[in-house]
Structures are given as structure tokens and as C-alpha cells.
Amino acid sequence: MEALAVRLSGLDPYVDGAIRVIAFYDTLMRRRVDLLALARASAGLAECVAGLRLHGTGRVIRVSPDGRQTSTPPSPASTTVPVTLDEEEIGTVWLERPGAPNPLDEVLLDRLAIAAGAVVERYGPARTTMADPALVELAISSDSDEAARARALRLLGFAVGLPVRVVAVRSQLPLDRIGGLVCPAGPVKAAPLADVGVILAAAVDPSRFPAGVRAGIGAAESPDHSWRQARTALRFTGLREPVVRYDDLGALALLAEIPQDVSRANADVAGITRVAGNPEDLETLDAYCVTGSLRRAADLLHLHHSSVARRIEQIGKTLDIDLGQPTGLMRAGLALTAWRLLDR
């Protein structure tokens, strides 16, 4: 209010008009009008076309002073103000006034932007992406009771009964961008928690994650269970498989339950640690375990199959495992996965 008072004091000849504008929008907000009604009232008050756009949905509303939505080509905006919610810009409001702006236009648009943000929050944040980390943590924490979790999800924009998947993400890209890509049509919220990004979404398309992102996707169960699953799936990600769904891990998820000191003490895992000293050998073993074939591994590595065969023979000696046998290949694959799950 102090900032608003300072701004109004700068409009000395128009203070009375500014106060009337503020009271006008306060009345509209008490009446819980929708976005169209807000735009219609604003156009009538400003006596020119008023516009509103929501970035996420692409919805645009333009209303002329007579209260009708106009389809005429838009004129250049004389004054523009962003609409924000949860500290994220979710849209824009503007006036298309011929000639110079009215001194009260900025006050009018400020109040319109505030009212539009309140309407979006009240009737569903839908396309806002970044959220309060504390609220997201409340929704996914195993320490939260069901009532607190339900309230957090409702405040985040997820309707009661709507399935919610949790995604654990490591990436240099902005979380809101990733969230918008993987869930373009449904509610989605994101927030950073410690060293991991969290995305909550009604649905997730694994094929839409951009390059450079590692993500673990939990099942659509209770968000606290989904969060644990997402963190587990994230541990299984790698260069060849940067996005992992917990549902796809099956029995492999059991490896994440093994205490790390037990894994380190295992002879096969210790052998992988020795192999990892040579990145080329580690990559060769990974390709061989993935493909189960010297020739297919060679194609994957862009090497001659005889070169791969020599490497695999040497790696087998280091591991003390016969990699030419199905049992040996299975042991190496399990050891490699267990090694990747270690904190290094």
C-alpha cells in the first residue's frame, strides 16, 4: 500500500480518480467476476479497447468500450502491464488507446493485472509452472498427513482425485521450461528442492524431455510414494538412458535398496570400480551389457568388432568373469548397475 500511495502522490491532479479506479476493481474482485467480465469492465472504464492474454493457454481477450469482444486487428498497445502469480509472469494486460496514454491508464492496468491474477488463482492456476518450494515439499513429504497434502495439492492447482506424477530432475535448464514441455496439456508445477528439481504433473510424456536432462518418473500414486520412486528412478539414469520410469525398473529397483557398504564390498562391484579407471573400458562394457553382442556393441561404439572382442576379453580378466557366458554377462550387468547407484 505504501508503494501505491507513493505512485498516487505523483499523480497529484488525479488522486481522486486513481482512488476511484482502485475502488472500482476492489468491487469487481469482491463480486468474483471472471476474466471476460474484468476485460469488459476495464474497456468501459478506459473508453478504449482493453486486452488480456494468458501465456500458458494462449487465451486472448480483447473487448471494445461497448462491452463486445472485438475481432478487429489489434492496434499497438498504448500501455502494457504483466500479470504475475507465484512470482511468475503468466500473462499480460493492455490498453489500445489511440493517441497518448491517459495518466490513469497505468493505475487502471495495475489493478486489472492484480485482479486477473486473483481470478486465475481462484479458478485454477493451470498454466503457472513455478511454485513455492515449501508447498511442493508439503505435497510430497512422507511426514505430511493426508489433509495437509490434499490442501497443498489444491493450492498448487490439482483437483481432488486427479492423478499426480512426481518427477525428480537434474538439469541446467529452467524447471518451468522442462515442466511445460513434458506436460503441455495438463496441470504442472515445479520447484527446486536441495540439489534436485521437482515436477508435479497430471501426466508426463518421457519422450518430450530435452537433451541434457536426467529425470526419474514416479508412478501416479500418492505423491509421497511417487516422490520416493522418482528419486530411485533418477539414480538409474545415465548417458544412454537419461530418463527412467520407475514402473520400467521392475526387479532392478531392488538394487537401490541394498546398503551401499554392502555393494562396495561385493567382488563384482569392486571389479567395476577397477574397470571404471579406464573410461573407454567402462563404455565398452556398458555397450556390451546393453546389446549382449560383440558386433552390436561395436556398431554402437563405432569400432571394429575384433577391437571390442579384445577389450571385452581384457575386461573379463579384470573382473574375473567369463563375459562370453550368459551368466557372466548377467553378473557384469548387475554389477555395473549396482556400481552406478553408489554415491561417488
Q: What is the pLDDT of residues 91-125, one digit of tens each?
A: 899 999 998 889 899 999 999 999 998 888 776 54
What's phi and psi for 240, nearest 5 deg? -80, -25
Task: Verify that 303 and 193 share a domain, yes or no.
Answer: no
28 within domain boundaries: yes
Residue pair 175/130 in contact by the 8 Å Cβ criterion = yes
Helix (H, G, I), strand (E, B) or coil at 218: coil
pTM recorded for the entire structure? 0.64
Q: Is the pLDDT of residue 239 over 60?
A: yes
Residue pair 72/106 in contact by the 8 Å Cβ criterion = no
- Predicted local confidence at residue 170, as pLDDT: 96
Task: Verify that 262 and 252 share a domain, yes or no.
Answer: no
Task: Verify that 111 and 7 share a domain, yes or no.
Answer: yes
pLDDT tens digits along 186-226:
789 999 998 899 999 989 999 999 999 999 999 977 999 99
Q: By mean pLDDT, which of 56-60, 151-155, 233-237, 302-306 is the weakest?
A: 56-60
The residue out of 80, 99, 123 marking a domain boundary is 123
128 within domain boundaries: no
The residue out of 256, 279, 307 marking a domain boundary is 256
pLDDT tens digits along 286-312:
999 999 999 999 999 999 999 999 999
Alpha helix stretches (DSSP H) within the chain: 2-9, 15-30, 35-46, 105-123, 133-140, 146-156, 175-182, 223-235, 246-249, 260-265, 267-275, 279-291, 294-301, 305-319, 326-340
Task: Verify that 138 and 99 share a domain, yes or no.
Answer: no
Task: Verify that 90 and 160 share a domain, yes or no.
Answer: no
Higher pLDDT, 155 or 207: 207
Task: Verify that 251 and 264 share a domain, yes or no.
Answer: no
The residue out of 237, 256, 275 marking a domain boundary is 256
Report the CATH number at residue 32: 3.30.450.40
State percent of the chain over pLDDT 90: 67
The single residue listed with the C-alpha cell 489489434 is 74
pLDDT tens digits along 315-338:
999 999 999 999 999 999 999 999
Within 10 angstroms of residue 131's Cβ, the number of other Cβ atoms is 27
Q: Which helix (H) or strand (E) holds 216?
A: strand 214-217
Average pLDDT across the chain, whole number: 89
Count up the domains in the chain and report the number.
Answer: 3
Residue 192, amino acid: P
Q: Is the pLDDT of residue 15 over 90?
A: no
Residue 72: pLDDT band with limits 50, 70, 90: confident
Task: Verify that 279 and 192 share a domain, yes or no.
Answer: no
Task: Verify that 185 and 113 share a domain, yes or no.
Answer: no
What's phi and psi for 145, nearest 5 deg? -80, 170
Task: Verify that 265 and 168 share a domain, yes or no.
Answer: no
72 within domain boundaries: yes
Task: Verify that 244 and 142 share a domain, yes or no.
Answer: yes
26 within domain boundaries: yes
Highest mean pLDDT among 76-90, 144-158, 314-328: 314-328
Q: How far apart are CA 4 and CA 309, in angstroms?
A: 75
Task: Verify that 176 and 290 share a domain, yes or no.
Answer: no
Task: Verify that 248 and 263 share a domain, yes or no.
Answer: no
Q: Is the pLDDT of residue 169 over 70?
A: yes
Report the CATH number at residue 302: 1.10.10.2840
What's phi and psi for 296, nearest 5 deg? -70, -35
- Predicted local confidence at residue 7, as pLDDT: 52
316 within domain boundaries: yes
Domain span at residue 278 reads: 258-340
- Predicted local confidence at residue 125, as pLDDT: 47
